[in-house]
Structure 1
């Protein structure tokens, strides 16, 4: 292998010399000193740099080395230095040629020749390995980043060969999209045989309405028709958001109604979504039949909204629980020909999954001939679920518009500025359909919805379940008119409320105290890009490498979610949940055979029906009479009030101990959605992050210690002392983590209500009295649930013969409802 000598400047009259056989580490590193003699420039000495102790190479040996070299090369020398070096070489009939080397390698005494494909950095070319080292060094300066995040940056470095642009990603602003782009999900490339509306076997009245909107079905709709939609086939439709799933249910349900096959139920998980569908269906199909709505309307009346709530309507939109309540109360629900269950992946929801599972079984029992249409955007095991739901699978994995996904590493202090930057850019774009780009921002708490919205200098609004119906409706209408560039929300929008946004920004990948699941993430990203409005959709994930939860950093979570597949829907619930469903089933059937058929139809019913009946009989919730099974009054109360079995026993035990009905109600469900108005200021003063929720254990532990209170000014000390005196004073061994503070605060809300305050007035009162904030919708929802719990307490008190307690519970519920 040939030998080369590379020389570079070192000090005034000294040069570094590197004998090499190949690029990389030299055979040794020498420091050559020159001297001017009578015969010209000659080597004075050659010092060989060693790890422990340097040594000297005889000058004659160095000259022999120069003569043996295949080439002598110089790099980085000033003209005067190069002249002196070449004069020395000429004395031995030698010469050199110039080369360019990676300067960063030279600083580590390695030799790497520059090539055109090297990495650009600060006006020069450096090798890829040095560029990666510099990148790691810059990352360490900016803060911690996970291995996945660094690998992402390195892959972009290899692709762009521009270290400066990659380092710029660590302080993101106006970054070129080719740097932030994670991937692009293309628009549909699956060929589906086209279906013209005109050729469908639909009632002419429905066909005319559809032809005003479209001439041809979208691909998933065409697949559904090919799979027997208009022939009465029950189906599970799994397809991305904005692919047209809802219309599948509409075509089946409205057509069945017009052909005399029965009425349509369209069931959704959220009241906001039900309200929106009700308005849409009234507009589209109001001329064909009566459109009604059944939702859990508030007992605390704030407005005079006129809605048709008749169960005799031809098309009924409702929430799961509202329709289930109808069944559990034994009201007639006859003549149903179509049942559409939207967002059916809610079957795996920890709180509501078993109730949806039971509702489907009960509807099948009440309407055995009905066509069932189940809709979802994210199910990881669709074949299994379709088989268990006894529905033909219609699966379509492609989007109607392409979706560009971008990942940006951003600290918490940078995110709001980036939201404003990207939302403004998106709003400036106008699609070929004539619509401006609008943005949905997902964050992890209701309070942050308001904080982010207020920080933006562009038109924006918060949207979450803590707002009242009127407040949410106002945001929806302003967004639909294009008046808002941004709506900032929590997971409320993931379940399908229709905001036609072209861009979704994830300000946080956490929802509450947990990371998003892949299915939740996919649901949320599916809100970007609607075919009737936009040419494409865009996802912006703002991941903070410094934010960590449950031992996982946010940038690592980002890679997991962006690269993940939808999880399997696993329907499983405990014995208490199964007993509640058995009691609910007994509201519409009394034979063990029918109860077994309903139990067997449920996906998550793991206990044998006979065993559950035995357990309910044993606990006094059911009785067997003459070969039939029926609920006892207590069992029926559990079913009609949607009580957990253990909560029913809690009510019973407290009533036996003569507890006050209000005390029982706030024990069942205390109000905990109160926030410190000055949490940020507290955090600064105390030098520790104070959670915003006032009654979280961490808040109580941090804020109300004597050491913390001593650090505050007098006004803050007075507020917190008053708060502690009123709500934290109890004799429990584990105070203040015993639950008493939340229960006392809940009773304070009731006290405000009985003074005639509406939710807005209560919110103002707790702000003035305790420097706490609470959202009007949260207060409204809590008072509504409290009255329903009082109803349950009153009914169970009557069953137990505690008539005074029953009267007190009913009267208090009425006073809370009517206070004005």
Structure 2
């Protein structure tokens, strides 16, 4: 098929000879017409481009051959852009040869590049004209490059998708301008809600009347995923793994199984979660919900809780129908060899089971599940997760029927907004306010969760928003968290700013989730983390739809170890698929889990059964020999037993290296207080007035107390003189108390960190609660910290002191054992 296109506005015409509708013509030339007595005829045809290449030497197409070509062509076209005068001249020529010509709309940009393309329904608005999609994408790439913002391939693909959707070049490019954002432009996709899903009437369930009546107070029917769980054997005591998005009703599946088994006298329910904050929340919910049907709830979140005004009211006994615990809280009982203290267990619910893949804590959850499956083999196990890579493999390894529910009860619109750092607060303010102004058909106002990558950012963002807001992170104590949860749950505040670390399950009924950052600390979010966090948007009982907004800064990275930039990571998260997980435990982790499992059995063959149920591979023979060499276990044929030292290390979650540090310190007659501060420093100290000092010094001072730049200032008198007297005094107090030592490496020897840690413990031993300790540090040194961090450090100190006490007893160091016990009692309170 052969087409010939003519276009012109001056003395000459552009001619394109096109084969088979291809964008690249066979050749392009410049036609000059000459008028004689018979009318306009071809005079010269100079070839400019042939086979996609511009010609450097002059080449002319014979006039006689060109006329023959015109007669052979299947279609002759005249560009609508051609001037009336030029068009008249062409038509005069065509008439002489008895040729018909069409007037067509073609892309002007293509014409300038000596290419060919029609304008049609897929054309893109470019200023006041239309151009073809290919030219629009070329222009878009040029504009993005000229914006001096690094854009990777995946980001460019996203801009192309937006261009295809909007058919508007300026609107697409406006994505780089936070002042001109349009939700139709920023929208990446919609995760659709489910329709016509089967629901099971609660009245039809074969469960106890007390539980049925309680469920009927909230709904007449089970939600779809709950229905699937019942059909998969939930009420037949089958082990189930439930993979379903947040807010689809997973938690209630575990509750129905657990409470029904309690009421049927099959044993209590263990409900295990990864975070203390989540355990506290579930404890409050279950206490309130199930107390009315006569069930008791208790909580286990650690070896020995610090006594404060906030924790004394919490029920911690094992003699309860429902025990809510953190993974470590229940594992501690097993590691003590006290599995029997749990009594009869009818149900074990493992919430957020995808934590198995966590680099730091995954090995402990892996070991805990295997130990529980061994110690309570008759219990029904329910595993819950919003996201798991390769769920079939997980379910098979866990010995559970898989229930996958891929839809959400409400749709989620996901948006991608490219911003500069200085634009974020203004844009978040607008998004939060717009959402707050909306009311769902259920009567609830729109509320927002903002995720960021650090606690300091949580507070900075919350303080910068010109509306009621709250920050929420692991540094807050239980009372502070509860206040935020209650206010948000009651719809009293429009926004909460939190860290990615608290994404796992904490119940904030938000309609909108904003990702101010795409990192957790200095590492990029994983797809699994992202799906978990974005799943917080939109609740069926509250909202008609959810909104997720990602706000990447083009070119931004968080550490030298991250090659990708934030906008590429954003697109990758939105289009990402979960990868199969690799369970590769290092030697320390292997030793810890093997030793912990010896706590529940002395049979080598049974120990192998436990290890075979784990995801991570443990080289049992080599690791057993190492534990024997370290005198953590004794091996006699098929019998494996822990030594006293091994039992202490296991129960207190001590690594081999930390255990030997304690042993060596006891041998050296180091004090108990010095031993535990050598084991762990308090690292959460920040200088309260870092911003003000930065202004005095006209430099950016890091807030972290023990960072190098901060220490340099304290030891530089000339610099210190530039600081206002109020802050000078605080800094000098701090230096005088913490930095007096004879070490050659001072102030980088660690003595200051140890002395500061001791200061916290000494203040606690005077009877001060964590909040009072912080006030004392602020008053004396201008140093502040999060209550939650102080609380955690005190709990670790109690656990470590107990380990020191017990190890000292085994070494016949009764004086040190007594000293450690007295310290432990004082710190515990």
Give the shorter-chain TM-score range. Answer: 0.7 to 0.9
Counterpart-to-counterpart distance in 1, 2:650 and 2:572: 40
Counterpart-to-counterpart distance in 1, 2:343 and 2:800: 29
Contact (CA 8 Å) 1:66, 1:72: kept in 2 or not? no
What's the offset of the Cα at 1:132?
A: 2.9
User: SS of 2:551's equivalent?
Assistant: strand
CA deviation string 1:395-449 (max 9, x = no partner): 2222222222111112222222222222222222222222122111111111111
What's the offset of the Cα at 1:67?
A: 15
User: SS of 1:184's equivalent?
Assistant: strand
Contact (CA 8 Å) 1:674, 1:772: kept in 2 or not? yes
Aligned to 2:571: 559
Counterpart-to-counterpart distance in 2, 1:20 and 1:364: 76
User: Is 1:458 matched with 2:463?
Assistant: no
User: SS of 1:340's equivalent?
Assistant: strand
Give the alignment partner of residue 618 of structure 1, picking from 629, 654, 661.
629
User: Is 1:435 matched with 2:441?
Assistant: no
**TM-aligned CA distance change 1:790 to 1:5, over 3 Å:** same
Counterpart-to-counterpart distance in 2, 1:570 and 1:264: 31
Counterpart-to-counterpart distance in 2, 1:813 and 1:543: 47
The residue correspondences of 1:298-697 to structure 2 (distance < 5 A) are 298-299=305-306, 301-303=308-310, 305-331=312-338, 332-549=341-558, 550-608=562-620, 611-624=622-635, 628-675=639-686, 693-695=704-706
Aligned to 2:824: 813
What's the offset of the Cα at 1:786?
A: 2.0
Aligned to 1:136: 141
What's the offset of the Cα at 1:552?
A: 0.3
User: SS of 2:801's equivalent?
Assistant: helix
Aligned to 2:38: none
**TM-aligned CA distance change 1:66 to 1:170, over 3 Å:** farther
* TM-score (normalizing by structure 1): 0.85
Aligned to 2:228: 223
Aligned to 1:241: 246
User: SS of 1:495's equivalent?
Assistant: coil
User: SS of 1:350's equivalent?
Assistant: coil
What's the offset of the Cα at 1:460?
A: 1.4
Aligned to 2:184: 178
Aligned to 1:37: none
What's the offset of the Cα at 1:111?
A: 8.1
What's the offset of the Cα at 1:728?
A: 7.1
User: Is 1:159 matched with 2:165?
Assistant: yes
Counterpart-to-counterpart distance in 2, 1:480 and 1:707: 49
What's the offset of the Cα at 1:789?
A: 1.6
Counterpart-to-counterpart distance in 1, 2:741 and 2:137: 59
Aligned to 1:289: 295
Counterpart-to-counterpart distance in 2, 1:704 and 1:522: 43
**TM-aligned CA distance change 1:453 to 1:219, over 3 Å:** same
Counterpart-to-counterpart distance in 2, 1:86 and 1:598: 91
**TM-aligned CA distance change 1:77 to 1:579, over 3 Å:** closer
Aligned to 1:714: 722
**TM-aligned CA distance change 1:74 to 1:513, over 3 Å:** closer
Cα RMSD (Å): 4.4
Higher mean C-alpha displacement, 441-450 vs 355-364: 355-364
Higher mean C-alpha displacement, 440-449 vs 210-219: 210-219
Contact (CA 8 Å) 1:234, 1:391: kept in 2 or not? yes
Higher mean C-alpha displacement, 394-403 vs 164-173: 394-403
What's the offset of the Cα at 1:277?
A: 1.4
User: SS of 2:579's equivalent?
Assistant: coil
**TM-aligned CA distance change 1:348 to 1:735, over 3 Å:** farther
Counterpart-to-counterpart distance in 2, 1:535 and 1:108: 49
CA deviation string 1:690-746 (max 9, x = no partner): 765454xxx526984999998898118968985778767878788776655543443
Aligned to 2:268: 263
CA deviation string 1:677-696 (max 9, x = no partner): 5777899999998765454x
Q: Number of residues paired by the alignment?
A: 798
**TM-aligned CA distance change 1:394 to 1:689, over 3 Å:** farther
Contact (CA 8 Å) 2:447, 2:511: kept in 1 or not? yes
Contact (CA 8 Å) 1:188, 1:400: kept in 2 or not? yes
Give the alignment partner of residue 209 of structure 1, picking from 211, 214, 225.
214
Counterpart-to-counterpart distance in 2, 1:626 and 1:157: 72
**TM-aligned CA distance change 1:68 to 1:726, over 3 Å:** farther
What runs of 5+ residues in structure 2 fail to find an aligned partner? 35-43
What's the offset of the Cα at 1:359?
A: 2.3
